[in-house]
Amino acid sequence: MDWDDLRIFLAVARAESLSGAGKSLRIDPATVGRRIARLEAGLSARLFSKTPQGYTLTEDGKHLMDPALAAEAAFARASDSLHSSDTSLTGQIRLGAPDGSANYLLPQVLTRISAENPGLEIQLVALPRVFNLSKREADMAIAVSRPETGRLTVQKLTDYRLHLAASREYLAKHPPITSRADLKHHRIVGYIPDMIFDKELDYLGEFGTSAPDLSSNSVSVQTQLMRAGAGLGMVHDFAMPFAPELVQVLPEVLALTRSFWLVRHADDTGIARMNRFTELLISGVRAELQRLEALT
């Protein structure tokens, strides 16, 4: 068994399909299938079961995962050591993030990192859900709550604030808001209730407001709805400079503090380039957040 066999095994395990694995490896799916068949023959073990949902790991396949992940980490560390004397970052790093931070906070930070490291390819994946790092959906991810399970390293990235807000046009056309009780007379913008993927995002529930009249699974879409005058909703303070139509409502009463967490594979902590990127990301996010919140 060699590393290339394990690389293909891991790709199929993560993609749960030959075509998905082939796409990530940039090889033909038929070749992936032949390589898996050869690996299974060499090990005298069946590693995958084909189901209507795709390729799932058998018990033998599950037993191979930890050694394969360890080999992947060792290969990454070996490759990293060859470039340890480089002054700039190179290669590809994929960062997963909630769409709010991905739209309003990270573009400025990643642009600066990219400009300082022209050999580095940064991929930003913005999805309103929890990322599965074990399937290598990303090299690292920003989460809105601290993961409690998995082979992960977790560190607090930063705290951030949110306030209730609405457009000036909306507020001018509707009854004044002087207390929480007045909210029942207003339209509410928020998350689709059954698509809230993390309890930390249940903003409106904390204020006891009714179900939203207009909702989206995307916080960026929610912000655009508010800019269009759809109603009241929670807005990140760091997003307010990008939405000049919005003003905070009852800022001394309706305010929240949440945290971003940076989540990485435990096996990646020995990789210098990943550690260096992490340092740049953390310092950049904290500085940019402070700058944007000061403009609110």
Predicted local distance difference test score (pLDDT) of residue 86: 57
Could you tell me the sign of the dihedral formed by the alpha carbons of 154, 286, 101, 213, in that order?
positive
The two tokens of residue 285 are 């996010």
Options 3.30.365.10, 3.40.50.720, 3.40.190.10, 1.10.10.1400; CATH of 159-256: 3.40.190.10
Predicted local distance difference test score (pLDDT) of residue 84: 54
Predicted local distance difference test score (pLDDT) of residue 229: 97
CATH number of 3-82: 1.10.10.10
Domains 91-158+259-294 and 159-256 share a fold: yes
The two tokens of residue 148 are 């409690």
Neighbours of 26 (CB within 10 A): 6
Angle at 61 (CA atoms; ends 59, 22), nearest 5 degrees = 145
CA-based diameter of the chain, in Å? Answer: 74
β-strands 189-191, 214-216 pairing: parallel
Predicted local distance difference test score (pLDDT) of residue 103: 96
Nearest Cα neighbor of 29 from 21, 39, 38 is 21
CATH number of 91-158+259-294: 3.40.190.10
DSSP one-letter string for 153-182 = EEEEEEEEEEEEEEEHHHHHHS----SGGG
Judge if pTM exceeds 0.85: no
Q: Where are the domains of the chain?
A: 3-82, 91-158+259-294, 159-256
Backbone torsions φ then ψ of 193, nearest 5 degrees = -50, -45
Angle at 68 (CA atoms; ends 66, 71), nearest 5 degrees = 110
pLDDT in tens, the chain (296 residues): 778 888 898 889 888 899 999 988 889 999 999 999 999 999 999 999 998 889 999 999 998 988 887 787 777 666 666 555 556 788 889 999 999 999 999 999 999 999 999 999 999 999 867 777 666 678 899 999 998 877 889 999 999 999 999 999 999 999 999 998 899 889 999 999 888 888 888 888 777 776 899 999 999 999 999 999 999 999 999 999 999 999 999 999 889 999 999 999 887 888 888 999 999 999 999 999 999 999 98
The two tokens of residue 90 are 């190179």
Predicted local distance difference test score (pLDDT) of residue 120: 93
Beta bridge partner(s), residue 190: 215
Is residue 183 within 8 Å of residue 166, measured between CB atoms?
no
Predicted local distance difference test score (pLDDT) of residue 32: 92
Predicted local distance difference test score (pLDDT) of residue 81: 60
